[in-house]
Amino acid sequence: MAQKIMAIANRVANESNYFDEEMRPVYLTGSFDVENNVFHFDMEERFGPEAGYHQLADLHRAVEIAIEPLTNQVDKLYTIYWTYGGKDIEFWMPRPPQKQGATNANPASAFPTGRGVAPVVVAAGHGYYYHLKEKNWKPHREPSNGILEDEVTPILADELVKALRSNNVLVEELRPIQTGYLHEPSGRPWWHIGPRYRFEKTLPDHPEIWHSLPTSTDAARDRREDIKSRPLYANHVGSPAIIHVHTNAHDKDPTINGARVYVAERRPEDAKLAKLALCSMSEAIHSVDRFKAFKVAAEPHSAKDDAENNLASMPSIIVETAFHTNVGDAELLKDPEFRKISMMGVAKGYRLYTEGKSCQKFAIEKIAAVDAFVGQQVNQSVKVSGHPVFPVDMIYKPSRCRREPCEAERKLVFNQAGIDAFRVPYFCAADDVAKGPIDFSVWAKDAWGVKTDEVIFHLSCKARSR
């Protein structure tokens, strides 16, 4: 299998040039590390300075996706590990110490504006940057299927910010779409522009954030500084977490689709947050019938060499909402309902993380059949699992009722005590005996529109024995 993996990896790595300058041929070696349950790739040392930046990360992801049909066959494969001349990213881009288990309620340091609590940083992926050689402003990505990642991610991020704020989380969006100001050097609105330039304007005394490569002569230096500036800024303000919102791509295989969340290795808090985000995204997205076929990864993907995660001293995740290179996913990225509900899922994942809760499906638990006598009032309790967003609509509908057609009855509850107190009522009358059992459909819908599956229980009204 290792031989097959290497054949695919070297082919994919050389099919395209992933860098501004031609760097092919690329020669990869690799093997399974059975003891640690990883597959270890090694690249030539000349690629070491590229570690952490998106061009090399694009090459990695293209290889990793191409070999998934093989690696998915390996039981409990932990991750894909990359080195360059035997040295990993921590040699080329040292990782700062990570704060363990930070929460928005207990920030590591105060937000500079004096509000007293550090914000969760939401960073919309990429943005236009100035190319030093071409002397023009360019997006990080190319458009695909009518989607340009640099312009759609702030729209997604805006939905995430609104959902987080509705949970009383203090948030700072690095490319807020609400601002109508024009960025004069580019002639574009500020929300199109990479945050590096905002930091240059607002934090002139902290060039270590926005000008972290002062000696670089790379024509795309600003693009690299922009990627690093996001986690460096989050470190600067003492953020409890940073969430990067992206769209994904796979130019070689447009059938690849779905949502993924990427984390750096050996960062358990990041992995915990990522898993909760994925679980909650799946719950939210799949609660809408027309999105049920959309694929959401069950587990986080490892991305050791992304500076966005690697440089953050707090939990950091990259949410790849959908593949803009896939026609179906691209249409979803244009859909306001999909954008809203997918980001609600991410926000719920963050809430569960800060509350120390596990991801549990929002569901009505099975209700046993009920027998009652004529003249008896039935008040059937309903148990609900999961962590819905209150208020919650508790809804039930009988298959037969006194006045046809039957309408669904509902009650709005505002907390767990309200769910515990909720009952499905029915009074057994004499004519119910001959008509046979009644089927009650019961379901619930939370404040963000997430619905449980319907559960049906049977009620049989029986005559009293004489």
pLDDT digits (tens, 9 = 90+) for 77-113: 778 889 999 988 888 887 666 544 444 333 333 333 3
Do 323 and 376 share a structural domain?
A: no
Domain boundary among 310, 327, 355: 355
The answer to whether the beta carbons of residues 338 and 285 sit under 8 Å apart is yes
Number of domains the chain contains: 3
Are residues 307 and 418 both part of a single domain?
A: no
Whether 427 shows a pLDDT value over 90: the answer reads: yes
Asked if residue 342 lies in contact with residue 334, where contact means CB atoms within 8 angstroms, the answer is: no
- As a dihedral over the C-alpha atoms of residue 225, residue 229, residue 235, residue 238, rounded to 10 degrees, the angle is 160
pLDDT per position as a tens digit, 221-267: 999 999 999 999 999 999 999 999 999 998 888 999 999 999 988 88
Residues forming a β-bridge with 39: 32, 80
Residues 414 and 390 in one domain: yes
User: What's the CATH number where 393 sits?
Assistant: 2.60.40.10
Return the residue matching tokens 């409890």. Answer: 240
**Exposure b/e, 298-335, CB count within 10 A at least 16 = b:** eebbbbbbbbbbbbbbbbbbbbbbbbbbbebbbebbee
Structure confidence by residue, pLDDT tens digits, 145-156: 999 999 999 999
How confident is the model over 363-395, as pLDDT tens digits? 999 999 999 999 999 999 999 999 999 999 999
Q: Which of 205, 354, 208 is nearest to 277 (CA)?
A: 354
Task: Give the pLDDT of residue 103.
Answer: 40
Domain interval for residue 394: 363-462
For residues 171 and 104, state if they share a domain. Answer: yes
Residues 116-134 have pLDDT tens digits of 478 999 999 999 999 999 9
- The partner residues of 296 in beta bridges, in order of sequence, read 259
pTM value is 0.84
Residue pair 194/223 in contact (Cβ under 8 Å)? The answer is: yes
* Domain CATH code at residue 305: 3.40.630.40
Angle between helix 149-166 and helix 336-355 axes, rounded to 10 deg: 50
Averaged pLDDT, 201-205: 94
CB-based contacts of 225, cutoff 8 Å, min separation 6: 196, 210, 211, 212, 213
Identify whether residues 286 and 184 lie together within a single domain: yes
pLDDT, tens only, 270-305 = 999 999 999 999 999 998 999 999 999 999 998 777
Which CATH number fits the domain that encloses residue 64? 3.30.300
Helices 268-285, 336-355: axis angle to 10 degrees equals: 140
> At which of 338, 355, 372 does a domain end?
355
In this structure, how many other beta carbons lie within 10 angstroms of the beta carbon of residue 138? 16
The alpha helices in 53-148, defined as continuous H runs, are 54-66, 68-71, 89-92
